[in-house]
Amino acid sequence: MTPSDRVTARVAELLDTRPDVLAEAADDFGHLVRRPPLGVLRPRSAAEVRDALVYAGPRGIPVAARAGGHSLYGQGQAPGGVVLDLSALDAVGPVTGDRVAVRAGALWRDVLAATGPHGLTPPVLTDYLGAGVGGVLSAGGLGGASHRHGLVADSVLELEVVTGAGEHLVCSPDRHGDLFDTVLAGLGQVAVIVRATLALTPAPSTVRRYCLSYRSLDTCLADQRLLATAPRFDHLEGQARPAEGTADAWTYLIEAVAPHQGPTPPDDRALLADLAFDSAEITDLGHAEFAHRVAADEELLRATGEWLHPHPWLNLLLPEDTAASVVTGVLTDPGFRDLRENGLVLLYPLLTRALRAPMFRRPRGEVVYLLALLRTAAPGAAGPMVAANRGAYAFARARGAVAYPVNALPMTPADWRAHYGDRWDGLVRAKAVHDPYGVLGGGHGMTG
């Protein structure tokens, strides 16, 4: 038997083609598109990931990696191809000094469970800890600490990957640096992440959370800018919420969190100096309790069945000079009126100098704002919401915004070229080298 025959035999042995398995792999958290693969492969090692790509590449069979299954618009699907279910590659640790090695199929809650007993945490965590490690690193990953520490992906020290060409490589800033830079926040276009080594930072035992309310959007954005550029808070997020008793008005919220170490509490007066909020609520929480704050919302949505409803979400990054006009335009758009009843609007600042992964696209300026429109649709009713997303994207892009590409948003190849701008040609060259058969990342629609 030739080496090629052995690879074919191993892939055939592992490939699962049962109808229920294919149906699950044809869906994702967005529940908006359904594209069944030919089969699902659950690799237990990097060698089995390599076998899948060595087999699929020359045959032009699409391959997609899936961990938590939380893509929104089929990005983790492989129509007519092979889905790599990485859930068996879920080992975390051991924690060694200020770092931890994590397999790509682990969930972020698993990472925190392993690092927490050591008093350590990744510098940046996403709000939802049920997402897979590989998927978040491929998107970049944003969270409340991003104004200080950048992307989740910016804490990666080393990657173990298998390229679309079937090469099994370890890369870092000093070893295959171009590949390392293209994989992080690279949307899975050139390689499948198998393992990541993450930097860790000390975790506080307790945090103090300040929820600051504003009636004025301009005032809220100005205070968010002040807090993003001043080293007061470790965590900084915000929201827009419907104003009670007023048909179209909104109120705005800053959520700012400071570590609470030892017997001395944070100095509230100093932390809140020069801010123009209308009211404030202050609470103390354990670090783990705060990190897992979204878990209760997930339990409720699962209990009501809404977790399985369509999620036509849209995430945009807005330049500072047009942020207020884009937020106002979107929140008053009739296509987003349902946000008042069944959605969540996140709005918080980021510093572009902290967002280091080269493939991560950001708007112009020192300070930019994430606007996340997180909606739930009734089954079969999401079409107009996706169309509204497309309109909002065009509206915002004309004002200098870019997409944070974790979206229910149809994107054409021309859109992607515009999105990557001067990085596009480099991505094309990297793909020609590392994914010469073009089998990876097709769910994003970069190639039509």
pLDDT, one tens digit per residue, over 242-266 is 998 777 899 999 999 999 877 788 9
Helix axes 323-331, 383-397, angle to 10 degrees: 160
**Looking at residue 312, what is its pLDDT?**
97
**Looking at residue 1, what is its pLDDT?**
62
Distance CA 131, CA 135 (A): 7
pLDDT, one tens digit per residue, over 327-362 is 999 999 999 999 998 899 999 999 999 999 999 999
**Looking at residue 260, what is its pLDDT?**
85
Centre a 10 Å sphere on the Cβ of residue 281 and count the other Cβ atoms it contains.
11
**Looking at residue 46, what is its pLDDT?**
97
Is residue 3 pLDDT above 70, yes or no? no
pLDDT, one tens digit per residue, over 363-390 is 999 999 999 999 999 999 999 999 999 9
DSSP state of 68: S
Centre a 10 Å sphere on the Cβ of residue 149 and count the other Cβ atoms it contains.
19
Helices in 97-191 by DSSP H: which ranges? 108-115, 133-139, 146-149, 177-183
- SS3 assignment, position 61: coil
pLDDT, one tens digit per residue, over 395-438 is 999 999 999 999 999 999 999 999 999 999 999 999 999 999 99
pLDDT band at 309 (very low <50, low <70, confident <90, very high): very high
pLDDT, one tens digit per residue, over 259-303 is 987 778 899 999 999 999 999 999 999 999 999 999 988 898 899
Distance CA 405, CA 207 (A): 31
**Looking at residue 96, what is its pLDDT?**
95
- CA dist list (Å): 171 to 46, 156, 161, 180, 302: 14, 11, 8, 6, 39
Kindly state the tokens that stand for 178: 């171009």
Closest by alpha carbon to 31, among 410, 384, 376?
376
On the 0-12 / 13-18 / 19+ scale of CB atoms within 10 A, 2 is exposed
Is residue 89 pLDDT above 80, yes or no? yes
Is residue 145 pLDDT above 90, yes or no? yes
**Looking at residue 153, what is its pLDDT?**
98
Least confident segment among 103-107, 109-113, 131-135, 443-447: 443-447
**Looking at residue 317, what is its pLDDT?**
98
Is residue 183 pLDDT above 90, yes or no? yes
